[in-house]
Structure 1
Amino acid sequence: MTNVFIETLGCKLNQSESETMGRDLSAAGYRIVHSIDEADIFLLNTCTVTGVADRKARQAARASLKTNPRIKVVITGCYAERDSGELSKLPGIATVLGNAAKSNIASELESIGFIHSKEPFKSEAGRTRSMIKIQDGCDHRCAYCIVPLVRPHKSCVHAEIIIEQIKKRQAEGFREVILTGTEIGEYAKDGLNLAGLLKRILAKTGIERVRISSLQPQEINQELVNLWKNKRLCRHFHLSLQSGSDTVLRHMQRRYNKASYRSAVKLIRDAVPEAAITTDIIAGFPGETDAEFEKSFRFIEEIGFSRLHVFPYSPRPGTLAASMPGQVESSTIKTRVDRLLKLGRQGELDFKRRFKGKTLEILIEAREDARWVGYTDNYIRATIDSTEDLENRIVEAKL
């Protein structure tokens, strides 16, 4: 028996791939455990989108050996894809595997001498949400982004395979699936675009909630947003922005401007008035002046996001922005990040206040500090006092 502890850093696509690796390893006779103390193998699925993500990966690898000195560390993911040599130099690393190895992880572990049971272990099921990968890869060269260098090959999963996976998750007790990928708005397979795939999922599965991950504003259209008349689609759109300055957007080589972004938001809000719209923002992109930052700040304020994910600009090896002139001072970046975080907290509070006194459905995920915790379909975190066992149930509650 070989016990494997999996830790995931980064995006929902990584989370989906870790979930799949866990299932594949269980089927091959490995046992997935939830404590590093019990583990023989530490499988670390890394991110490399920022320098902070790289640092977290190295810290996690070192910390695992301090906690469990006998553990064997296996590193995969985008950092492993970008610089396997750097990671291989860390102490206690058994092997470093690129993203392609994830689809054959059991054989990869066996090939380097790990022993597993001859009988499959039952994969853990019954959680509230499952990540379903529908697409991978990106060939757009945004100036700051390293993703096309570590996930360059675009591919989409057949619709019937996606539908079969969703049916299995539902049979296992999952109540919600999240459709994820690198660029899911560019889904194109079997004659279907993303809207066509969603229509087929809604027609052929009975899963109670379907949530989508990040979209680009140019991918929002009337056909797509009209599908949200079906209440099984979660009213949550993560719509990437990165900057609210047209000048900075051009330097970033993004494929939209403020006007087209504003139009995408209007389409969503006209069709789905109570939708949460969340976004990513980069502070301190090379050459971003104080005036451009102020324009960006005011645009973000105007849109009124329900949540901001704020990132200080981090130069990534091999990207155009890493060699651009006008790198912004770290102290200036920190000031801008702090202002954006404050704006994000206010936007989140304003969004939540709109629903005070309303009754919404909450998918209960866990019990924390004697209260049940879950999320509404439009991504409001809520807690409930109850003596009943509410885990993995969708309940109505007045907020």
Structure 2
Amino acid sequence: MASNKKLLVLPGDGIGPEVMHEVLRVVDWMDRRRHVSFDVEEGLVGGAAIEAEGHPCPDRTVEAAARADAVLFGSVGGPRWDKLPFDRRPEIGILRLRKELGLFANLRPAQVWAPLAESSSLKPDLVRGLDLMIVRESTGGIYFGEPRGIEILPDGTRRGFDTESYTEEEITRVARVAFELARKRTNRLTSVEKANVMQSGRFWREVVTEVGKREFADVELSHMYADNCAMQLASRPKQFDVILASNLFGDVLSDLAAAVTGSLGMLPSATLGAADSSGRRHALYEPIHGSAPDIAGKGIANPCAQILSFAMLLRWSFGMEEEAAMVETAVERVLAGGLRTTDIMVPGAARVGTTVMGEAVIRELDKIAA
């Protein structure tokens, strides 16, 4: 394999640095055992960047992300920054990176690992074998729409407002990603919106339907209202394969899917930009869990979502399917062996911390590579 793949690592806040440390051990293992070298640069984002440079996503971080072949992101935020102005909060860091790099397609797999079927909030029979993908539009919609703000009305009362807005091109490009993913899986796509009460939802449905008819006639397309989709995820999740949703609905539904799988600590994600003429695209990989400040520094956080985010990075940014599968298999074997962090603990399992879980993944990688 070619060496010197440029990787920007942004550990962030809370448990971010702890779980990222375990991923860097996997990166080092790849160098030693698979002869795949990464040029790793570390940067600041979120609260850590605020403390050091006064901004949640400094220009130098954006510039480093633009140079990198891929970005591995931790998590940001915490109560110490809750009272900052909206445009200086840690979470603005990830929003700026998505916008500046054009990262419009957020891929959030929701997979129930066989050893974790009992950890789901649903009955094991409802989730055993679950493997779905949520494609969330991530640079448009209500998180970025204008106008937005809080204003004082003529009668002296206050009003808060945000704007849900999508262009045809914004919907088309993320729909194509979802259709292409569906084509690689079971050829089924469910597009989610609120076309019954929102004009933007009606428009979303129209555009997705047009893209399907024009470019993906072989893919079975269905439409579902977002509230019904939430109910269906919580009652019959295995009916879905690929779900396409706007920024807001994708955010909510992917967290619900995470609860169905058993733990936020197990779910990775990838956020992709458009491919250039050479096929290269900006991409950022992160676990969908937050910074979990309540357990930060205790050494008990689950590093698996961050490790699995690295597996997605190997597959999507570098085409390293074999290595990605090795990492995923190693994680599954660790779980099958009965090791559990607190978030996925079940009776009879062995409770371990962040470092031991990371060490166990490395041991399994050694066995796989032997």
**Structure showing the higher helix proportion among its residues:** 2
Tell me: higher relative CO, structure 1 or 2? Use CA pairs within 8 A at least 6 residues apart. Answer: 2
Larger Rg: 1
After TM superposition, the score normalised by the length of structure 1 is 0.26
